[in-house]
Copies of this chain bind each other. A is one copy, B any other.
Amino acid sequence: MIVNFKAYSEGIKKGEEIARAAREINENGEVFVAIAPDFIQLKSLVEFAPVFAQHTDAVNPGSNTGRITPEMVKASGATGSLINHSERPLILSDIEFLISAFRELELTSVVCTNNIPVSKAVAALTPDFIAIEPPELIGTGIPVSKADPGIVEGAVKAVQKVDGNIMVLCGAGISEYEDFVAALDLGAKGVLLASGVVKAKNPGMKLKELVGI
């Protein structure tokens, strides 16, 4: 499970609370939770839980201003990065550049996709994870596992056919324990979520509730 803080104010204020809850869950050992805070908190939260950047730019070290390079993500101590989130989409050659750069730097690539054909295309680039999120469900509270179970099952099947090592996550609208379980039942290896946890009154407690501990 990856908790995306997005640019929510709550993600800045309660970042450490969420990170500590993730640590507790990870110590329990049944579910594995990573967090994707804003760039500024990356370094300070790595001590609590596995951390992913929300985005990485496809640029090499050098004369580039205002960019996040794979090298910077590595130096921060992060585990990897979301790539191509629907709120931060990338051109195709940059996705390929990043997956390949991450492989070399031993960073974990989690590439977001919006439908089954796009998931198939990304699978051909062999990232570590593919996270399918129908953009129209993001932030709605209507879980993809209920609204469109076929898209999750279909993506899992299509991706497995290309490369059995790629793990599929699903996202969009997930905010309850039963949604989480439903996602796993559909063949997903985990979920990507955001507002359901980050905007909860007690995000730490909510996160634990969500994974059933």
A contact set with B: CB distance below 8 Å: 4, 6-9, 12, 38-44, 53-55, 59-69, 71-73, 75-76, 82, 84-93, 95-96, 100, 113-115, 117-118, 120-125, 138-139, 162, 194-195
How many monomers of this protein are in the complex? 4
Q: Tell which of B67, B96, B118 touches A93, judged by Cβ atoms closer than 8 Å.
A: B118
**Shortest distance in angstroms between A149's beta carbon and chain B's nearest beta carbon?**
21
Chain B nearest CB from A94 CB (Å) reads 8
Expressed in whole angstroms, the minimum distance between the Cβ of A113 and any Cβ of chain B is: 8
Which residue, A43, A113, A122, A123, has most C-beta atoms of chain B within 10 A? Answer: A43
CB distance from A62 to the nearest CB of B (A): 6
Report Cα–Cα, A92/B64, bound state, in Å: 19
With A40-B75, A43-B40, A120-B124 as known contacts, state yes or no: A7 contacts B91, CB within 8 Å: no
